[in-house]
Amino acid sequence: MNNILITISIILNGILLAFLFGLVPLLLYISIAVNILFLWYVRKSIMNTSDVQEDLLVIMRTIEGFTDHLENLHSMEMFYGEPVLQDLINHSKTTTNDIVDVLEKYYDERVEEIDDDEENNEEEEKEEPILY
């Protein structure tokens, strides 16, 4: 209800300005109103962008934790050398690298590299994306 009253007030004030002072003050009034609207929109967009950046960082930390957990599981005597776990570790590292690439592309965010020392020679020949 308040938004409707504010809108009606702005319109009536604009009509009053046009009637009392002419067209130039009306155009100035409209210009100021439009600039205020644009500033509000830009502020809201910047806040939304920073929220997206924080969410991507949280996702990346979660995947890094998952990768560490898999590596600890893989290093256990019972599972050491298991190819399915090794593939899962490689896939989680690739996913983390993809998220890092997005962060670097859009947010100039620098993140630590993930070590790929345990990968097989076959994996090195595929030219997977790496961190720079």
Neighbour-count burial of 37, counting CB atoms closer than 10 A to its CB (0-12 exposed, 13-18 middle, 19+ buried): exposed
For the stretch 68-83, pLDDT in tens is: 887 887 787 777 777 8
**131 lies in a domain?**
no
Q: Does some domain include residue 130?
A: no
**Residue matched to tokens 């998952």:** 66
Instruction: Report the interhelical angle of 23-74 vs 2-21 (nearest 10°).
Output: 150
Residue 120 confidence (pLDDT) above 60:
no
- Provide the domain limits for residue 79: 2-125
Number of Cα atoms under 13 Å in the Cβ half of residue 84: 1
66 located within any domain: yes
| Token couple for 107 | 């947010």
**Residue 11 in domain:** yes
- Residue 113 is predicted with a pLDDT of 55
Residue owning tokens 């020949």: 125
What's the domain count of the chain? 1
Within-domain flag for 64: yes
Q: Does residue 27 belong to any structural domain of this protein? A: yes
Asked if residue 104 belongs to a domain, the reply is yes
